[in-house]
Amino acid sequence: MRALPHKAAFARLLLVAGAVAVAAPQAHAQSFFEALFGGGIKRQNREAFPPAPQPQPRAAQRAAEPAKISAPSYYTYKPDALRRVDFSPLLAIAQQASLDAVPVASDGFREAVNGLRSFDLPAEADIGKAIVQYYAKNPAFIWIEDGRLDARARAALRVLSEAGGHGLDPRDYAVSLPGGAAGEGGSATDALIRFEMAMSARVLRYVHDARGGRIDPNRISGYHDFAPKPFNAAGVLASLAGSGDIRAYLESRHPQNAQYRQLRVELEALRASEENDIVVDPKLLLKPGESSPELPKLLTLIGRGLDDELGGQFGELLAVHAGSEVYSQEIVPLIKAMQQKKGLKPDGVIGPRTVAELAGVSKADRIGKVVVALEQLRWLPSDLGGTYVFINQPAYTAAYIENDAEKLNMRAVIGKTTNQTSFFMDEIEQVDYNPYWGVPQSIIVNEMLPRLRRDPGYLDRAGYEVTDSKGRRIPSSSIDWGQYGSKVPYNVRQTPSEANALGELKILFPNEHAIYMHDTPEKSLFNRDMRAFSHGCVRLQQPREMAAAVLGTTVDHVARKLAQGHSTEKVKRRIPVYVAYFTAWPNAHGKIEYFADVYDRDSRMGLAMKKTEESRAPTS
C-alpha cells in the first residue's frame, strides 16, 4: 500500500544477495514488485529462522489456480422505495373511541380520522410507521388549529420551500394546501386531516435529509463506510408539536459547522452570478508544440487576471499570441509563471489541473460540486470537533485543525484509481516509529504471489518476514507458493529500514480498510500535481509534523523517538480523522476551492441523487 524503493536500494540488494543480470527498476517504477525486490537492504539484523516444516514434494501437491482479491466495487444505487402509509391502526382507534362514547377534549382530530380511509400517502417505510405510531398515542393536530393552518404550519412550509438553499430539492418536501374538499365525495375536514398527515410526512423527510442526507453513502460503493445516523421520527414529531420556534428547530437539524455555512454562501453566490462567458475544455491536455482551439480561450482568461508584475512581464507576449492555437515555446514561460503562482508544478504542460486553476470551473460544474459537498457533509457529524485531522482526497492534502484553526496543511499521496482510498471517519490512536509494514492479503495475493511462484525465496532476501498462523517465522524459500490461490495462510511484513514502504513512521486509526497515514521514501511524488499513487493509504509530506501535532508534542520529541528504534506511542486525547472526498471545500480563509474528481465519485453521487428525486416524484 506504500512506497517503492529506489535504484540505489536495488543495487545494494544485488551486492548483498550476489544476484546477477537483474534489470534495475526505474526510480519511481509503478510496478510494485520492481520496487519490492529492491527493498530492505539496510534492515536490522534478524534472528535465525527456526526449523521449518519440511514441505511436501512439489510433485505431490496440486498447484492452485492464480487468483485475485477484488477491490471494493461501485453499486447501482437503489433509493428507499416509497410505500402507501397504512392508516388502519388510526382508523381502528377512532372507531373504538366512537363505540366507547367516552367524552374527551378534542380539536376535531378523532372525528376527522375517517377521512384517511381512501387516502394514498406515499412515504418512506420508517416515516409512515412513525406517523401512525405518533398519532395513535397523540390524537391531536400539530399543523391545524380552528379548522385552518396554524402558525407552526406556515413557518414549516416556508422552511420547506427554501430547501434549495441547502442544496436540497424543494419538490421533495412539497405539500398541497387544504384549499377545499378532499376529492369526490370528500369534505373540508377530510382535506385538513390529509394535509396534516402529508405535512408530517414531508417535514420528517426534510429532517431526515438535513441530518443524514438524502443519499445512503454505503449504497454507492464499498469505498464508502458510514454508520447510519439514528432517526427517531416519532420523537421528531413530538418535538415539533411542542416547539415554539419551528424555523429554529428545522434549521438546527442541518450540519452546524463553518464549512457547511461557507458552502451555502458559495451556492447562493453561484446561483446569483452570471455564467462564464468563456469556458475552456476541463480535460484539455496540451504540450509545447501542439495546437488546440482551446488555447486562445485560456490565454484570454489569463490576460484578464494578470497583476501588474506579470502584466509588465507578459502583457506584450499575450497581445502578440492572443489568437494563436499553437502552443509555441514563446508562450511556455507565461504558463510556467502562472502555474507557479497557483502553487502547481511549473512544468509548462497545460492539463486539467492547470486549466482548473487558470480558467476556473464552469458555473454549472461548480454548483454541482457544491451541492454534492453539502450532501456529503451531512454524512459527517454536525460538529466536526475543535481538533481533528482532515484528509481531502481530491485536493491531495492532509490538514491538522486545533481549536478550530488550521495548524498544518501538507501535501498527501492517496490511492491509485485501482486502489482507491475509502471515504470514512475514525479516531487516531497511536504513532508507530520505525514501523513494520504488515503487507495486506490483497497485495500478497495480487502482486506478491505471481513472483513467489517463480522465486520462492525473494522475500527472504528483500527484508520481509513470513510467519504462519501461530506467529512462527517461516523461510519464504521453504514454502510451495504454487499451491495457494486467493487464500494464503501466511502473514508477510517488511522490517524497519530506510527502504521500508512506510518510511520512518505511521499514524494509526485502526479500521477494516487497513488505511492509515505514513511517511514514504518516495519524496519526489509530492512534487506532482496529481498524487494518486498508493495502494490506498495516505502518505504525508510532513509526517514528523503531523505525528507531533496529534501527540501534542514537538518535532524534536518525534526525532528522539525515531533515533531509539522501533516503538509505539499512544495518542492520549480524542482526535477524529476524516478521510474525506470533497471536490469543493473551503480553505483556511473560507474561500471555496474546486478540485478534479479523481475517482469519478461526483458523477455517481449525481446519479444517486437523480434516482432519489425520481423515486420521490408524484406518480400522477
Question: Residue holding cell 492479503?
Answer: 441
Q: Buried b vs exposed e over 36-75: b needs ≥16 C-beta within 10 Å? A: bbbbbbebeeeeebeebeeeeeeeeeeebeeeeeeeeeee
The confidence score (pLDDT) of residue 620 equals 52
Average pLDDT per 10 consecutive residues for the chain, totaling 620 residues? 42 38 36 40 40 46 70 94 95 69 64 92 97 95 94 97 97 88 64 97 98 98 96 96 95 97 97 84 91 92 79 82 90 91 88 85 92 98 97 98 96 96 98 93 90 91 90 92 90 89 95 95 93 96 98 98 96 98 96 94 97 87
Quickly count: other Cβ atoms within 10 Å of residue 329's Cβ: 9
Gap between the Cα atoms of 142 and 152, Å rounded = 8
Distances (CA, A) of 495 to 152, 345, 443, 450, 500: 66, 34, 16, 22, 7
Gap between the Cα atoms of 230 and 297, Å rounded = 50
Gap between the Cα atoms of 517 and 503, Å rounded = 11
The confidence score (pLDDT) of residue 106 equals 60
Q: Is 359 helix (H, G, I), strand (E, B) or coil?
A: helix
Count of residues for the chain? Answer: 620
Gap between the Cα atoms of 292 and 297, Å rounded = 10
The cell for 139 is 390524537
Helix and strand numbers, DSSP H then E, in the chain: 21, 20
Gap between the Cα atoms of 1 and 227, Å rounded = 25
The confidence score (pLDDT) of residue 10 equals 39
User: Which residues 6+ apart lie within 8 Å of 556 measured at CB?
Assistant: none
From the number of C-beta atoms within 10 Å of its C-beta (0-12, 13-18, 19+), residue 318 rates as middle
Q: Answer yes or no: are the C-beta atoms of 405 and 295 closer than 8 Å.
A: no
From the number of C-beta atoms within 10 Å of its C-beta (0-12, 13-18, 19+), residue 219 rates as middle
The confidence score (pLDDT) of residue 304 equals 80
Gap between the Cα atoms of 566 and 503, Å rounded = 12
Gap between the Cα atoms of 131 and 356, Å rounded = 48
